[in-house]
Every structure is written in structure tokens, then in C-alpha cells.
Amino acid sequence: MRIIGIHDGHNATACLLEDGELKDCISEERFTQFKNQPGFPKNAARWIMEKNGLSADEIDFVALSSFLMNDVEHYKKSQTMGNQLFEKRAYILKPGILRSAMINSGAYGIAKKVFDRYYYTPKRDIMYKALLEKRKEEICRNIGINKERIIVVDHHAAHASASYYGSYFNDEDSLIFTADAYGDYASATVSIGSKGRIRKVSSTTDMSLGDFYSAVTRFLGLKVWEHEYKVMGLAAYCKDKDVMEIYGILRGMIELSKKDLKFRKKVVDSYYTHMKNVLVGYRFDWIAGAAQKLTEDLVTEWVREAIKRYKIRNVCGGGGCFMNVKVNKKIIEMPEVKKFFAIPSSGDESTCIGAVYFVHAEKDKLGVKPFFSPYLGISYDKDYIKRVIEKKNLKKRFRITFEEDMEKKVASLLAKGNVVARFRGRCEYGARALGNRSILADASNFAVIPEINKMIKMRDFWMPFACSIMAERASKYLINPKNVPLSYMVIACDTVNKNRNDILAGTHQFDKTARPQVVSKEMNESYHRLIAEFEKLTGRGGVLNTSFNIHGKPLVCSPEDAINTMENSGLDYLAMEDYLFEKINKDKEE
């Protein structure tokens, strides 16, 4: 059975599931080089069809994630307007004396519920129903399949399916948690996965954790739906004693009901509007620290109560909130939790994966194979690269050599203190660079952080880089008592003090945690061998790894993207398959 999955909202993505195994998955942004490209992923879908030589008749179903999806303009505006879009429904009365009086008396909350139920929601439902038909027509035009073979999957059912069926323990009973800003009238769910089926037991319909965290992101002057990770990185600089006053304020905005495992918004206004009234004047880093602590506390409380109620200790996480690696760290540290899996890049891009898993589970008695390799995107052969070299006359601008053993060559360059961009094999699915579209350096050299930032990354001063570590050396550097798989940079963990200097530049500057990628031969043989060669030269079994892109752009996809990025940055070396590019005028640039 072949099922194509489509997510056509924020960070549009397409995938292919064949006989229960995920074969391909790539986001539209890779082709357009527009960060979080929204809308129908036509280039991604076309590539999947062409790569596999598929006609419409050879596709059994198209799984479309989410019944309710905004149009492209909404998502483009969200990248500049942020939560202003969501605040519109909060203002049934403009701020003023009457509104304040109604809020204080409780009348405003009642009026808002009436407004939402009898005006806003029905009007929105009509709009979404019309948009759903247009979305189906877009699939028919681009893939050639008829509407009868398009199956729409609920947003949070897709998140839950991605995390449960994708887990390495999908043959065991599991608790499944999903949390994000909003999708198909829900913002958080709890489900039970058992014997290949999913049963939902709780659903939060009010704005919850994702919207709360995004509101903090915007309040701090950052970009919602993109820069939440910067809030998390900043939070680590704060101590608990510094944030407790703000923590108390934020705790008054959202709570968990232990009775029904639902989150409840405790303020009438939008989170952002309320923050403008109560947080002005407080330190920016303390706000980040308080928001992160509250999020960690609420999620662990949520998980603990569900385990207590259902007596299941395996935990799966899906939805944008589980991209928070520090939250995931707290979960694996809970004594109640036995196993944990968060689907890699668990934002809405993962819903196309969940949608195909969901449809397969409904239509085919054969089980779904767990998510394993993240290298699900496009690749380019040596002949294509050779044509690019010739067409663009690159030998005039670069010293280009063909290397018989590129992994050994790159290891040697890294050992000598150089920074090298690596472009090899299939590009990674999702937000994380996992070695095939990465910038690499010696992780023991802390001075390389400002060097890379000056070259290309331009990261905020508080943001850490990540590290890639050979699987055989994971216990040397990482504290992971439950042996949770750490292959996808989705979980932070503490580092071993006596060996930390080997990977220091790949840890958080303040709390010395790492967001590691543990690299095995089975998952990425060539990248594993590169790190092994580096260890032979240096005695260190890990390297610094950051994404190969210019700040604000997606990961590079094609050889042309890689060359353009190199030419518009301070990078001196690019290892593209077996071709090594070195800038001829790099000494002059320095």
C-alpha cells in the first residue's frame, strides 16, 4: 500500500509511506528556500512522485493532515504579525473603561463565550469548509488522484499517530501526549496507544501551552512560530531564585486540571495582551526563565498524573511543544517514565507523517515500521555536481579537488582547526541538521563559536551549538541512564564533567547541557566514519554540528544552494559528496 502524506499549512511538507515504511519526507521550504514555506507542497509532492516513478493510479490514498487550515496569506502574515492575528477574536470590545468594568464583573468572559459560540465559530467553520474543498482540489490538480481517495486526518490525531507509530516501542502500551498552539479545535490531547490502535482520553480546546509559549516569544520581541527555541536557550541562564516572582505571575495565567488532564487558560484576554499589562519592567532573561520553568512543570505534572491514572509508563510526545528539548529532558528524568519518544521535528511538518501512519493503521492490518532514518529527502549524484561546476564555471572561484576518501579529508581539516560545510547523501527531514547538510568544527575549541557566528550563523550571543557523537562514545560524554535513543537532537541531556571539554563548544555555554546527535553506523555510515577518523587524529569522539544555512534561511537543499551559501558567507571549505571546494581568495577575505 502506498500513501502520500500532505501537510499544507505552516512549513508545508509531503511524505510517502509504502507498506508501512516511511520512504521519503521533505518540506517545501527546501525547494523554495523560503523559511517555513506555507501552502500546498507542490515541489515536494512532485519530487516524491518522480523519484519513485509513480502515477496517480499507483497511489492508494492521499492522507491530508488537519480539517481546518488557513490560507497561505494567513501564514505569511503570521511571520510578521505574530499573535496579533489571534488577538482579533479577543477584542469583542476595544480596551477602555467599559471593557475593564466588564472584565472585573465577569460579564466580559460570558459575552466573549457567546460571541465565539454564535458568531465567530460558525463564521469560521463556513470559511474552513470552503478552504478544505479548495485544498482537496489542489491535491487533485497536482497529484492526479480523485477526491474519493483523499482522507483527511484530524490535526492532533496526526500528531499522536506520528509519535506513537513512529516510536521504537510501538508494539507496547503507551501514553501519547500532543501539545501545540492550536489545530482542529484542540491544543493538547492525551491518548492511549495499545495493540496498534489509539484511543483519545482527554482533549484541551482552550488555548494552552503552545500559544502561551509563543506569546512569551512575541513579548520578548522575537518571531512567533520560529524563535521559541531562543526563549528556551535564554532561559538556561537564570536560576530558580531569579524567576520565582515572574513564575507566580505566569502561573496565574494557565493551569492543569488534574481531574480531566486538560489545560485551562485563567485570563480573559489573550496571553500576549495580559503579559503587556503585568510583565513590563521585568528582566527579559528572567521572563524567559520563568516561562520555561512553568512549561516544564506543567508538562511533567501532566505526564505524572496520566501515568498515575492509567498505569502506563511508556510516553510518546507530538506537536510543537515537544520540540522543546529541555521539556523532553525533564520527562526522561522522571522516575515514573520508563521509555520516551518524541517524533523528530515534531511541529506541524510531522503531521503528514502522522497522517500516513493513521491511514495505514486504518486500512492495512500490517503494522507500521518505527521511524528510523531521518535522511528522507533529496540527494544529488556526482554527475549533477560536475555539471553545476561546469555550468557555473566554479573552478575560477574555487579550488576544487576530487577526494578518494572525503571522510578522512574532512576529519583532517577539522583536526587542524578548520570549519567545513558538509553536503552528502539525502538531506534530512525536519528542522535539525544531522550531518548531511551541516557545518562541522572541532567541538573542543570554544573559540570556534564566535568564528562560526561571524562566518555565517549570526546567532544570538546566548544560543548554543550542538554536537554529533559516535554511538560507541555516547556514555563517555552524555548522561543517559535510561538509554533513551538520542539520534535526532530532540532531547537535551547533562554531560559528563571529566570529558566535557572534548565537546565543550557543542554544549550550552551556561548549564553545559547538550542537544546531541548520537551517530551510529546503521543510521549514517559515512558520517560515523568521519567522526571515527577525527577521533583517530585527536582522541575525541565528537564534533560540533550546526545547520548549513544562512541565518533566516532553511537548510540548503541543492548543490546550487550550497554554493550560493558558501559564496555569501565566510565559509572556506565545502565537502560536497566527493568534491572539496576551497575558496581561492580566502586569505584575502580574512
Q: Is the pLDDT of residue 299 over 50?
A: yes
Characterize the bridge pairing of strands 573-576 and 420-423.
parallel
The amino acid at residue 222 is L
Rounded Cα–Cα distance for residues 309 and 313 (Å): 11
Composition of the chain by helix, strand, coil, percent to 5: 45, 20, 35
Rounded Cα–Cα distance for residues 60 and 143 (Å): 12
Q: Is the pLDDT of residue 416 over 70?
A: yes
Question: What would the pLDDT profile of 522-560 be if each residue is shown by its tens digit?
Answer: 999 999 999 999 999 999 999 999 999 998 899 999 999
pLDDT category of residue 448 using cuts at 50, 70 and 90:
very high
- pLDDT at residue 70, rounded to an integer: 81
Interval 339-358 mean pLDDT: 98
Q: Is the pLDDT of residue 89 over 60?
A: no
Average pLDDT in the chain: 92
pLDDT category of residue 333 using cuts at 50, 70 and 90:
very high
User: Which residue ranges form the domains of the chain, and what is each CATH number?
Assistant: 2-157 (3.30.420), 382-589 (3.90.870.20)
pLDDT category of residue 92 using cuts at 50, 70 and 90:
very low
Between 70 and 260, residue with greater pLDDT: 260
Which residue, 228, 213, 273, 227, is CA-closest to 87?
A: 273
Strand partners, 264: 255
Burial track 240-268 (b if 16+ CB lie within 10 A, e otherwise) = eeebeebbebbbebbebeeeebbbebebb
What are the residues whose beta carbons fall under 8 Å from the beta carbon of 418, sequence distance 6 or more? 441, 572, 573
Q: Is the pLDDT of residue 445 over 70?
A: yes
- pLDDT at residue 206, rounded to an integer: 77
Q: What does the DSSP assignment read for 293-335?
A: HHHHHHHHHHHHHHHHHH---EEEEESGGGG-HHHHHHHHT-T
pLDDT category of residue 586 using cuts at 50, 70 and 90:
low
- pLDDT at residue 365, rounded to an integer: 78
* Inter-residue contact 71 to 45 (CB < 8 Å): no
Q: Is the pLDDT of residue 87 over 60?
A: no
Q: Is the pLDDT of residue 82 over 70?
A: no
Strand partners, 151: 63
- pLDDT at residue 88, rounded to an integer: 46
Between 365 and 279, residue with greater pLDDT: 279
- pLDDT at residue 71, rounded to an integer: 75
Q: What percent of the chain has pLDDT over 90?
A: 83
Task: Tell me, rounded to whole angstroms, the distance of Cα 540 from its chain centroid.
Answer: 29
Question: What would the pLDDT profile of 17-67 be if each residue is shown by its tens digit?
Answer: 999 999 999 999 999 999 999 999 999 999 999 999 999 999 999 999 999
- pLDDT at residue 241, rounded to an integer: 87
pLDDT category of residue 315 using cuts at 50, 70 and 90:
very high
Mean pLDDT lowest among 87-91, 273-277, 446-450, 586-590: 87-91
pLDDT category of residue 128 using cuts at 50, 70 and 90:
confident
pLDDT category of residue 175 using cuts at 50, 70 and 90:
very high
Does this model's pTM top 0.85? My answer is: yes
Number of other CB atoms surrounding residue 103 within 10 Å: 17
Number of other CB atoms surrounding residue 381 within 10 Å: 8
pLDDT category of residue 210 using cuts at 50, 70 and 90:
very high
- pLDDT at residue 76, rounded to an integer: 64
pLDDT category of residue 300 using cuts at 50, 70 and 90:
very high
Rounded Cα–Cα distance for residues 517 and 551 (Å): 21
- pLDDT at residue 588, rounded to an integer: 46
Which residue, 406, 450, 455, 353, is CA-closest to 21?
A: 353
- pLDDT at residue 288, rounded to an integer: 97
Question: What would the pLDDT profile of 465-512 be if each residue is shown by its tens digit?
Answer: 999 999 999 999 999 999 999 999 999 999 999 999 999 999 999 999
Classify the C-alpha dihedral 369-373-376-381 as positive or negative.
negative
- pLDDT at residue 514, rounded to an integer: 98
Per-residue DSSP letter, 93? S
DSSP-based three-state secondary structure for 456 = helix
Interval 208-237 mean pLDDT: 94
- pLDDT at residue 526, rounded to an integer: 98
Q: Is the pLDDT of residue 83 over 70?
A: no
Rounded Cα–Cα distance for residues 281 and 294 (Å): 20
Interval 147-161 mean pLDDT: 98
* Inter-residue contact 326 to 492 (CB < 8 Å): yes
- pLDDT at residue 105, rounded to an integer: 57
